[in-house]
Amino acid sequence: MKAFLHICLAGFTLSASAPAAEPTPEEWKKLWEQDKQAVKTGVCQVHHTSMPATTVPIHYGLVRPDPKGPTEAERIRLFPHARKFQLGGCCPIPDETTATIPVCDSCVKAEAAWLAARKVSRPASPKK
């Protein structure tokens, strides 16, 4: 009985912390189209709130995602406009160090709650 409980608890722990299923290619296309439209209109596709244009730093080079952080699928489904930086690609442009992007306050709060629930601290800037 004790072994059975351990197996059940282990299964619960895995399912409770497992990332959301990866979207299908069709779902990705729909998610990216919704994201593009949200950037264009300034209204978050998840929270349906207005997003103020915010000046943020541009990070160039290879930016590795935090392995403890949300997957890209979780990010776009739960808090797509929480990032307070812009990815600039591999080739730095010296005169372009900031960008103006829409940032959703509800996405920022949702990301903070997601990270707090998993006891992950938010990095000040992306890891390179």
Does 59 contact Zn ion by CB under 5 A?
no
Q: Hey, which residues between 15 and 44 contact Zn ion (CB under 5 A)?
A: 44
* Residue placing its CB nearer to Zn ion in the complex, 60 or 107: 107
Q: Which of 38, 46, 103, 115 binds Zn ion (CB under 5 A)?
A: 46
**Residues with Cβ < 8 Å from 121, sequence gap 6 or more?**
115
- Site map for Zn ion, 69-108, x if CB under 5 A? -----------------------------------x-xx-
Question: If we measure between CA atoms, which residue out of 74, 88, 87, 82 comes closest to residue 108?
Answer: 82
**Residues with Cβ < 8 Å from 22, sequence gap 6 or more?**
71, 73
Pairwise CA distance, residues 110 & 100, whole Å: 21
Q: Which residues bind Zn ion (CB under 5 A)?
A: 44, 46-47, 104, 106-107
